[in-house]
Amino acid sequence: MISGNSANIKVSTVLAQKAKAYIELTKMRLSLLVSFSSAFGYTLAMGGRVDWLQLTMLFVGGFLISGASCTVNQVWEQEYDKLMKRTQSRPIPTNRLSGSEALWFAGILATVGLYVLMISTNWLTVGLATLSMVLYSFVYTPLKRVGPIAVFVGAIPGALPPLLGWTAATGDINHAALIIFGIQFIWQFPHFWAIAWVSDEDYKKAGFKLLPVKGEKDMKTAFQIMTYTLFLIPMGLLPTYFGLTGINSGVVATICGVLFLASTIKLMRDPSRKSALRIMFGSFLYLPIVQIAYLLDIVN
């Protein structure tokens, strides 16, 4: 009896560890942010009056597809992840999961995610979701060792979630959909480059080349980061200008944009890891705060 209980406990422990490893593959925080951005686009398109079942299905489908993309990314980069301190503890480098197990998991997530979108939205949304997954997993990922063109390519799937939400609600793409896509697209550049600056030593170990202007952490790169952040200020006002949202969210977007810009100017004056960290954390705050402000503006 005791040995049987011990065996059951051991099996349960192994299963729990496996489940935890599979969950880690999905990059939970990133995938939840993707799902939130999709829900944001959907709610904005619906003017705040949502079909909660459809919204839930969109949220789940977006999460599963993002999780599949993140998993394929880790299969591609399993040998490089072993070289970097920030990724050495991931499931595949630590042999908690094999590459084949991860690929099967990615296939299941992608299939279920696309099916969920297919039965709850429309073919345009399913097509865009497929495009996002292909660009992230099979174009952006290998390009990271080629050069900073990877950031441009990666910014496309990174900006597609709100567009997916919009098309799920409306079935088409108009100027308003392109505006919310554009804001998230431009945001990707300071976001990516701040991370690349902070993780530069690790990235070089793996041969990743994401920083612009010859990949140096210098004034030219800091200026590039500042320039793209500067564009966010007028971009953030476009939803107000075109009547998609009200003046309150325009004020919030402008304040957030100016604060974000100030952190990039600080990097130009002090090109240090600490200054880059401010931009990185600022980018994490900017997008959800501005998107929530837009939503609050349409429901009030």
**98 by DSSP, 3-state: which?**
coil
Domain ranges of the chain: 19-173, 174-300
Distance CA 300, CA 237 (A): 18
Lookup: tokens for 266 = 């600080």
Question: Hunting for tokens 């690790």 — which residue is that?
Answer: 202
Helices (H) and strands (E) in the chain, counts: 13, 0
Whole-model pTM: value is 0.93
Give pLDDT tens digits for 234-280: 999 999 999 999 999 999 999 999 999 999 999 999 999 999 999 99
**Closest residue by Cα to residue 90 from 81, 98, 99:** 81
Give pLDDT tens digits for 69-120: 999 999 999 999 999 999 999 999 999 999 999 999 999 999 999 999 999 9
Is the pLDDT confidence value at 9 over 80? no
Contact at 8 Å (CB) between 39 and 55?
yes
- CATH number of 19-173: 2.40.50.100, 1.20.58.220, 1.10.10.10, 1.10.357.140? 1.10.357.140
Fill in the amino acid letter for 257: G
**Closest residue by Cα to residue 158 from 84, 24, 66, 41:** 66
Neighbours of 248 (CB within 10 A): 14
| Cβ contacts of 9 within 8 Å, gap of 6 or more | none
pLDDT of residue 257: 97
Segment 167-181 shows an average pLDDT of: 97
Give pLDDT tens digits for 189-241: 999 999 999 999 999 999 999 999 888 899 999 999 999 999 999 999 999 99
Segment 18-39 shows an average pLDDT of: 95
Lookup: tokens for 298 = 């349409």
